[in-house]
Each structure stands twice: as structure tokens, then as C-alpha cells.
């Protein structure tokens, strides 16, 4: 596939780029600072420097691709609009470019469907208060994606770690994976790449965690 990856220099995004190249995909990595993308240049990797909030600047990086994967995410715990406004900009560029398939990384922490009593009633309320700014950004992003006309998939991981790629991934559509509270960024990237070609996940929110 021909894939465009946003947030490509971040922890999850760089794993999507590395694994995508290893799987034989053609990758367009959109970054603000190419020096931060720790992936060797190659004939199947195109690095594009662009401002994610400028839809017109993103169109050339999206046109002709099969799917777009957004691994954008907030840094720190302060107010942020990177997910909601960055994703809106990406979606506008996709509409202009005529590309339909979109996958975005959100989180399972702000959702409680499928969680046990202790997690839903005691742990999650504390987590939601502590991370309220980032969660508010992702919640609004999810809503904007949901009402778009694109072929979207929202992927909701729990706490992200730097564990090595294991391939042990549990997933659940419409609710959280019960009893598993972490996933490695490498495994999240693995799931994103496979989900990009999975029609059954179009217009669904799917939670993932270590299997």
C-alpha cells in the first residue's frame, strides 16, 4: 500500500514507518522537523516537511495514497488542540485529494465500556481528571472523525510503552479490552498497519491492548 503517516517522528509514528517499510509499503512521512525522524532514507520512504494545521500544504503528501495513518498526540498535560485541529486539517486535505481511508490513534483511558467495576469506577475517574486536557482533545477529535464522510477507524490503546514488538495484540470493537492496561508502541503500529487494509474495521472504534 501507499501510506501517509502523520506524527511520523513520534514514538508510535516512527514504528509505523519502520514496520511499514519492512512490510514493503511505500511510506510518506509528514513531519515538522526531518532531523527527528530516526529512519534511514530509502526508495520507498518520502519525507515531507509540512505544518499539519495547513490543509493545502498537506494535499500533495496525501494525493494518490491508499490510506492515511495519524499518530498525532499531545505532549504534556496542558491544553492542546493537536488532535482535534490537526486531524480536521488532515481530513480537509484528504477530501481535496480524494483519499478516503483514515486511521487515527486515540486512547482507551477516557472510555469505560467493557471495563471491570474497579477500573471503571475507581481508576478511570482519577485518570480522566489528571489527563483531562489531552482527553478532551482526543474526545473532540473522535467526534469530528465520526461525523466525517471518510472511511475511518479510531484505534484506542491504553498506556503506551516502549516494549519490543511481540505481535501479541488483543482488540475489541465497541469496548475496551478487559484486564489489559498496556501496549507497546511497536505492537500498536503493527495493528494500525494491518487495520489499514481491513474493511471490517471501517467506521468503527476499536480498542487494543497487549494480548
pLDDT digits (tens, 9 = 90+) for 102-122: 999 999 988 878 767 667 676
pLDDT tens digits for 61-104? 999 999 999 999 998 888 999 999 999 999 999 999 999 999 99
Chain position carrying cell 488542540 = 81
State pTM to two decimals: 0.94
Q: How would residue 174 be classed by pLDDT, with cut points 50, 70 and 90?
A: confident
Question: Domain 2-210 is in which class?
Answer: alpha beta
Amino acid at each position: 500500500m501507499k501510506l501517509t503517516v502523520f506524527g511520523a517522528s513520534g514514538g508510535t509514528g516512527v514504528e509505523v514507518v519502520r514496520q511499514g517499510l519492512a512490510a514493503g509499503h511505500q511510506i510518506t512521512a509528514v513531519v515538522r522537523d526531518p532531523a527527528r525522524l530516526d529512519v534511514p532514507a530509502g526508495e520507498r520512504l518520502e519525507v515531507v516537511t509540512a505544518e499539519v494545521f495547513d490543509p493545502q500544504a498537506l494535499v500533495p503528501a496525501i494525493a494518490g495514497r491508499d490510506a492515511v495513518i495519524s499518530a498525532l498526540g499531545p505532549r504534556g498535560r496542558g491544553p492542546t488542540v493537536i488532535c482535534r485541529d490537526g486531524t480536521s486539517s488532515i481530513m480537509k486535505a484528504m477530501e481535496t485529494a480524494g483519499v478516503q481511508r483514515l486511521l487515527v490513534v486515540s486512547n482507551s483511558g477516557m472510555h469505560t465500556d467493557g471495563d471491570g467495576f474497579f477500573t471503571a469506577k475507581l481508576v478511570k475517574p482519577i485518570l480522566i481528571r489528571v489527563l483531562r486536557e489531552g482527553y478532551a482533545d482526543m474526545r473532540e477529535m473522535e467526534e469530528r472523525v465520526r461525523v466525517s464522510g471518510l472511511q475511518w477507524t479510531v484505534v484506542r490503546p491504553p498506556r503506551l510503552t516502549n516494549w519490543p514488538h511481540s505481535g501479541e495484540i488483543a482488540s475489541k470493537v465497541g469496548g475496551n479490552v478487559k484486564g489489559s492496561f498496556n501496549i507497546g508502541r511497536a505492537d500498536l503500529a503493527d495493528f494500525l498497519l494491518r487495520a489499514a487494509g481491513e474493511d471490517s474495521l471501517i467506521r468503527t472504534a476499536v480498542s487494543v491492548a497487549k494480548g
